[in-house]
Amino acid sequence: MRVTDTVLVANRGEIAVRVIRTLRATGRRAVAVHTEEDAEAPHVGAADEAVALTSGDGGPATYLDVDAVLAAARRSGAGAVHPGYGFLAENAGFASECRRAGLVFVGPSPDAIDTMGDKIRAKAAVAAAGVPVLPGVAEDPAAPLTDQEWRAAVGRVGLPILLKPSAGGGGKGMRLVRDLTELPSAVRSARREAVAAFGDGTLLAERYVENPRHVEIQVIGDSAGCLVHLGERECSLQRRHQKIVEEAPSPVLSDVTRAAMGEAAVRVARAVDYVGAGTVEFIVGGDRPDEFFFLEMNTRLQVEHPVTELVTTVEGRRGVDLVALQLGVADGAGLPGLLGVATDGRGPEAEEAVRAALGTSGHAVEARVYAEDPARGFLPTGGRVRVLREPGGEHVRVDSGIATGVDVGTGYDPMLAKVVAWAPNRREALSRLDRALGEHTVLGVRTNVPFLRALLRDADVVAGRLSTGLVERFVEGERLPTTDPPGEVLVAGALWCQLDREPAGPVASRFALPDGWRWGGPAATPWWLGEPGRPAHRVLVTGGAEDAAVSVGGADPVRGGARLDGTELTVRVDGRTRVYTVAREGGRRWLAWAGGTWELVEREPLAAVSSPAATTADGQVRSPMPGTVLTVGVAVGDQVVAGQELLVVEAMKMEHTVTAPVAGSVAALLVRPGSRVALDEDLAVVDPTSATAPSGDPGPV
């Protein structure tokens, strides 16, 4: 009997669903865990059994509660725990506790996690193994550096530098510093975020490589010492150090560099006697693609592992399942047998046979679908998924953690799903992924899908001229797709509004029909529609919804009609027909067509004509995203200047500073630390009439 016959998945979202899929496919029993708010989440329904996480006193617990997870494993009879990624996946203490409880931890040893989880110790171990590392400075956890000591240390390393938490990754707590004057505030901010994310504020700084590329190597080893790599992934398309699009293989590496990097990754893993699946990450110079430096090792399954699964071949057969390999290694099986490689040898001979059998075929690209609004600076969003339609077809894969009816909150990472495409070459893979994203429809939650499609079509991306700064340049160059609804969408929205006003049954009076009919001629029905937080557009509808003249913003009217059938709105305009996927939530209407998604809000005429500038000049301070108030830095009565920090709101592990829209005095504070807030919720009021002149300035005369 396999020790992994019953496996508890200590995670949520798409990775939990993905691991459960392999557990079920390999005949294992899958156990899910969930918090109180996740009781109806997709991963719960995907498992054979689900256990609610509870604390020692019987109250609700979180996914980070080690005792609660272990108690759930005992209750379910699980023999093993798969941690997925995030949460407890790289927690050496959790791996140790699993062993003490008699559970198999599907991952490397606690010692390997501990060494590689501490970037300072990892760097020393890697350097000792002969792998190139970036110059830098590291804090002693027992004696954090002062501002003056940081200045001196960074002066020796040289600018620019990248501040990083020693205890974690995923872009959390990273700060790029190009000027010494920015260093003290960057250290404080990075330390605060590191403590919040990892419980450890220890930092290190490394020389920042200009125009760097992020290339990582997938490794896997068994308990008999067979350790191999499965090629590389290019992960250079990032925002705020968070990966967005990943691909395999890298379009920049030569065969010589690819081989050298693979051998370096194996040396890194062997330095800690690595068993299981892991990833060694490198920085590659944009101008020197033959030069690479160790970045870190992730002692877990990576988010982007599907691209490796899709391109890896074993003796010419394409496709591997890394989760199945993790489970097999945890059972004590050897890699040759798990991969179907025939060999009589052991140790180095077995490893050589596996290496000879491995190869790659074609190209795979993955895009991460996030609950975020690119038009609002990529701030996290949320809401209930009203309609979900995911792409399919040959060589398209979707790893998803959402379903229709699921509430997307702000307490977790904003990633909703991963869309992956394979093709014989890179150009076709990019094109196939673009088409698949065009078929990915989420109504009720704003996502980054239009941004992803625009990014995939960027000339530098298509040409493979990638770097970790490319996305920021793409955004700063104002190449983001516009969110303002086009005229045909406004026509569809207005006709939909008109449909809602029409009675379902027979009517007693001709005047009861909302088609504008009057004695002496028809009158138009005005609708004010626009994206949330943006100016509304006036749309006039004359006639009934099935046959009307529609004018947008005073333009010449078009002839059109609409019919609603469930979540499909069929709209005919001047002889052309479109079928929109739609959903409604109160006064908000969602429409999707041909890869585009628009959220239209009905406005009252007076509110619609108010200028957005007036809403900021009045001193009203609103939340830029749904989340939790982390800090409040002012008190009622304080004098503030325009742009001064007032509050910090956190959502999905990301902090956002809310500043004063005008100079004045704080007239009201409507929230406090710990308050949960919605998008555009009022947080504070700054009275601009009470602004005082700066010292030494008598003010206007």
* Residue 106 scores a pLDDT above 90: yes
* Res 519: pLDDT: 53
Question: Which range is least confidently modeled, 333-337, 374-378, 381-385?
Answer: 374-378
DSSP percent split of the chain into helix, strand, coil, nearest 5: 30, 30, 40
Mean pLDDT of 597-614: 65
Q: What is the value of pTM for the model shown?
A: 0.84
In order, the DSSP letters of 35-47 are -STTTT-HHHHHS
What is the SS3 string spanning 429-444?
HHHHHHHHHHCCEEEC
For the chain, the average pLDDT equals 90
Domains present along the chain, CATH in parentheses: 6-106 (3.40.50.20), 135-208 (3.30.1490.20), 214-361 (3.30.470.20), 369-476 (3.30.470.20), 487-608 (3.30.700.30), 613-690 (2.40.50.100)
Strand order in the sheet with 396-400: 292-298, 276-284, 213-221, 227-239, 242-248, 363-370, 415-423, 396-400
* Res 653: pLDDT: 66
Question: Which range is least confidently modeled, 47-56, 116-125, 685-694?
Answer: 685-694
- Cα(601)–Cα(612) distance, rounded to whole angstroms? 15
Question: Which range is least confidently modeled, 358-367, 503-512, 591-600, 625-634?
Answer: 503-512
Q: How confident is the model at residue 696 (pLDDT cuts 50, 70, 90)?
A: very low
* Res 697: pLDDT: 42
* Residue 286 scores a pLDDT above 90: no
Q: How confident is the model at residue 188 (pLDDT cuts 50, 70, 90)?
A: very high
Neighbouring residues of 619: CB distance < 8 A, sequence distance ≥ 6: 661, 662, 664, 667, 685, 686, 687, 688
Q: How do residues 21-33 score in pLDDT, each as one tens digit? A: 999 999 999 999 9
* Residue 473 scores a pLDDT above 70: yes
Question: Which range is least confidently modeled, 461-465, 583-587, 635-639, 676-680?
Answer: 676-680
- Cα(382)–Cα(677) distance, rounded to whole angstroms? 12
Mean pLDDT of 138-167: 92
In terms of Cα–Cα distance, which of 305, 309, 307, 597 is closest to 433? 307
Mean pLDDT of 342-357: 89
Q: How do beta strands 213-221 and 276-284 pair?
A: antiparallel
Mean pLDDT of 689-697: 53
Residue spans of alpha helices (H) in 314-414 = 322-330, 335-339, 348-357
* Residue 615 scores a pLDDT above 60: no
Q: How do residues 497-541 score in pLDDT, each as one tens digit? A: 999 888 665 544 444 555 555 555 567 899 999 988 778 999 999
In order, the DSSP letters of 175-238 are EEE-SGGGHHHHHHHHHHHHHHHHS---EEEEEPPSS-EEEEEEEEE-TTS-EEEEEEEEEEEE
Residues 73 and 83: beta-carbon distance below 8 Å: no
* Res 520: pLDDT: 53
- Torsion angle of C-alpha atoms 452, 454, 455, 458, degrees rounded to 10: 160
* Residue 339 scores a pLDDT above 60: yes
Q: How confident is the model at residue 57 (pLDDT cuts 50, 70, 90)?
A: confident
Q: How confident is the model at residue 346 (pLDDT cuts 50, 70, 90)?
A: confident
* Res 699: pLDDT: 37
* Res 521: pLDDT: 54
Q: How do residues 397-413 score in pLDDT, each as one tens digit? A: 999 999 999 999 888 88
* Res 280: pLDDT: 98
Give me the half-sphere count of Cα atoms (radius 13 Å) on the Cβ side of residue 413: 22
